[in-house]
Structure 1
Amino acid sequence: MPAGHSGKGLLVTNHIIVADDHPLFREGLRRLVENAIVGSLVHESETYAEVCETAERFGPPSLFVLDLLFPGFDGAHSVQELRNRFPISPILIVSMMADDTVINTLLEAGANGFTSKAAPPAVLENSLTKVMDGEIVICRESDIPAWEVKTSPTPVEALSPRQKEVLLYLRQGLSNKEIARALDISPFTVRIHVSALLKTLGVTTRAAAAAIAARERI
């Protein structure tokens, strides 16, 4: 399990769990949390099993900061499980996926907030402190001033490796359930990937995405 970190010489008053399967983003998020919540002990996790293990080992965390897509995490189902097991621990989801239906489902399951990964550090730090103060926070990419949002080179290049895998299967005409079996992930996770890649590619149908995949030889 990735090691936890805390500020040197500081009194630890909060322990916080940060989960993301991308090491660079996870480290950056951990540093941002440490900066926003001084004296916190931040535990890094890259799987849902590690999140649960850490929470059981150290007791109910002061805050969960979770990506929406990482190994073992099943969206609203996992949020509901964490809420049942750790009823007083706030849960903030930080993800590029900003579908309103998904966000509402997560909030209904017990999440306290959602913030886009495109948010600048100051906005994310504000979300962290507000959620810990008991507020409900929603910050989609569309809520962020355009000049603060980083631009991607091209839509296809902006896709994650997993999204490109899903796009390949879309090109082959597979259903969400078939893609889920092929990638050994849940249909819910596939639906999130499909919704995200459609948005990134700027299309509204699977057929249009498949056409782009064919054109780009994915």
Structure 2
Amino acid sequence: MADRIIVADDHPLFREGVVRNVKRLMPNATIEQAASVAQVWQLAKAGSEPRLIVLDLCFPGTHGTAHIADLRQAFPRTVIVVVSMLERPSVARQAMAAGANGFIGKSVAAGQFCDTLLAACAGQALVCLADQPALACAAPVPLTPRQQDVLRLITAGKSNKEIARALGISPFTVRIHVSSLFKALGVGTRTEAALRGLGL
């Protein structure tokens, strides 16, 4: 079965340009287009888990990176690459902390876009902004899916009680996961863990 790829942007002309580049890189993939976050969810749930979602950061009616975090939780194996006109390192860090595998500025050259997209699909975590070399985030540490969830929520500044509510588990279980996460990352505090989650 061909890989499923979703390209999501509310600007049709830009979206078509991304689709053309993705087709050139992955000619055998099935590429679907979405103009809204709602359409992304509709397409993503309609079949097998997507191999890749190329996603704008800003859609009408969305704020911040919540839609990235929600997609990451629902589709843990999907590569999510954010492409945004907000080309600031702080914005890129927020997107990566929410669960994106890569962040690409909309004003980068097509070659940089393609190279970063392929690197993200190969397992690298990269931020690529215009006039800057691609920045590799910290090498990913092998974490269990639950540890990844906990790290994402710690990085978002959530307390153990808030993490427990978000994941539907008890605060005691959260403490166990936090302890094992600290050991896996080689850190001793939530701040250090959050910095690792941000790729710093």
Answer whether TM exceeds 0.5 for this pair.
yes
Letter in 2 for 1:60: E
Q: 2:8 aligns with which of 16, 19, 34?
A: 19
Alignment-derived partner of residue 41 in structure 2: 52
Between the aligned partners of 1:19 and 1:38, the Cα distance in structure 2 is: 18
Alignment-derived partner of residue 99 in structure 1: 88
Between the aligned partners of 1:36 and 1:72, the Cα distance in structure 2 is: 31
Alignment-derived partner of residue 193 in structure 2: none
Alignment-derived partner of residue 118 in structure 1: 107
Deviations 1:157-182 (A, max 9, x none): xxxxxxxxxxxxxxxxxxxxxxxxxx
Map 1:1-218 → 2, pairs under 5 A = 13-143=2-132
Task: Tell me the C-alpha RMSD between the 2 structures.
Answer: 1.6
Task: Give the drift of 1:34.
Answer: 0.6
Note if contact 1:36-1:128 (Cα within 8 Å) is conserved in structure 2: no
Deviations 1:16-61 (A, max 9, x none): 0001111111111111111011211111100000000100002211
Note if contact 1:48-1:72 (Cα within 8 Å) is conserved in structure 2: no
Between the aligned partners of 1:142 and 1:37, the Cα distance in structure 2 is: 26
Task: Give the drift of 1:95.
Answer: 1.2
Note if contact 2:108-2:131 (Cα within 8 Å) is conserved in structure 1: no
Letter in 2 for 1:116: G
Q: CA, structure 1 residues 34+73, in 2 after alignment: closer, same or farther (shift >3 Å)? A: farther
Note if contact 2:104-2:127 (Cα within 8 Å) is conserved in structure 1: yes
Unaligned runs of 5+ in 1: 1-11, 145-218
Q: CA, structure 1 residues 89+140, in 2 after alignment: closer, same or farther (shift >3 Å)? A: same
Q: CA, structure 1 residues 50+19, in 2 after alignment: closer, same or farther (shift >3 Å)? A: same
Q: Which runs of 4+ in 1 moved over 2 A?
A: 71-75
What secondary structure, in the 3-state scheme, does the structure 1 residue paired with 2:131 have?
helix
Between the aligned partners of 2:27 and 2:119, the Cα distance in structure 1 is: 15
Unaligned runs of 5+ in 2: 134-200
TM-score by length of 2: 0.63
Q: CA, structure 1 residues 58+75, in 2 after alignment: closer, same or farther (shift >3 Å)? A: farther
Letter in 2 for 1:114: F
Letter in 2 for 1:34: K
What secondary structure, in the 3-state scheme, does the structure 2 residue paired with 1:84 have?
helix
Task: Give the drift of 1:74.
Answer: 3.4
Count of residue pairs the alignment pairs up: 134
Deviations 1:51-78 (A, max 9, x none): 0010000221100101111234433211
Between structure 1 and structure 2, the one with the greater Rg is 1
Note if contact 2:57-2:65 (Cα within 8 Å) is conserved in structure 1: no
Identity of aligned residues (%): 35
Between the aligned partners of 1:75 and 1:128, the Cα distance in structure 2 is: 22
Deviations 1:107-144 (A, max 9, x none): 11110111111111111111111111111011111316
